[in-house]
Amino acid sequence: MNDTMADDFELDTDDLKRRMDGAIASLRTEFASLRTGRASGSMLDPVMVDAYGSPTPINQVGTVNVPEPRMVTINVWDKGLVNKVEKAIRDSGLGINPQMNGTIIMLPIPELNEERRRELTKVAAQYSEHARVAVRNLRRDGMDQIKKAKADGLSEDDQKFWESEVQEMTDQYIKQIDAQLETKQAEIMQV
């Protein structure tokens, strides 16, 4: 009976691809936050505020506006969250110094000097490393499923086939991540 189960084993590569696509989508969102010197509401998308006991996007605790090309304002709805929003922005690695005025937080976007550009390329590299780790973790999940099937009687040839499929998929996604990082870093360094 175990042999039949093992013979029928088929790794859900569609699920694995979908989850790896999720890592890439997350990376794109994080990269979008690395605006190169222009104010944009989306630059705050990855910043989470500890609101009411759970991480919450800034646009769910206040209104985000871009009144000028180098200024973002946040009108925080709950007075009690103003300091938490300000702290989340300071800790975000965006290099923005929030200025508070009651429930309104103003974010002057600094000119990008060479030093700031280099900082942003490092942040981009960190984001891409997080995506690589996510893809590698999904690879490990796939390999674990294959090992479990092997223990249930999956043939060695089938095991090697599925392992190479997972590895090939992982390599493709890592290449995508590296290519996106290279593009983003070039964009950041462009004066």
CA distance 25 to 103: 32
**Domain residues of the chain, as ranges?**
2-30+114-189, 38-108
* Tens digits of residue pLDDT in 2-47: 444 455 778 888 999 999 999 999 999 888 777 666 677 778 888 8
Which residue reads 């937080």 in tokens?
105
- Give pLDDT, residue 1: 37
Q: What is the pTM of this model?
A: 0.65
* Tens digits of residue pLDDT in 68-125: 878 999 999 999 999 999 999 998 877 788 999 999 999 998 777 888 889 889 999 9
CA distance 178 to 2: 41
CATH of domain 38-108: 3.30.1360.40
* Tens digits of residue pLDDT in 172-187: 999 999 999 999 998 8
CA distance 135 to 151: 24
Residue 43 DSSP symbol:
G
The CATH homologous superfamily to which domain 2-30+114-189 belongs is Ribosome-recycling factor (1.10.132.20)
- Give pLDDT, residue 38: 67
Note the helical H segments in the chain. 2-7, 13-32, 82-90, 114-151, 156-189
- Give pLDDT, residue 191: 61
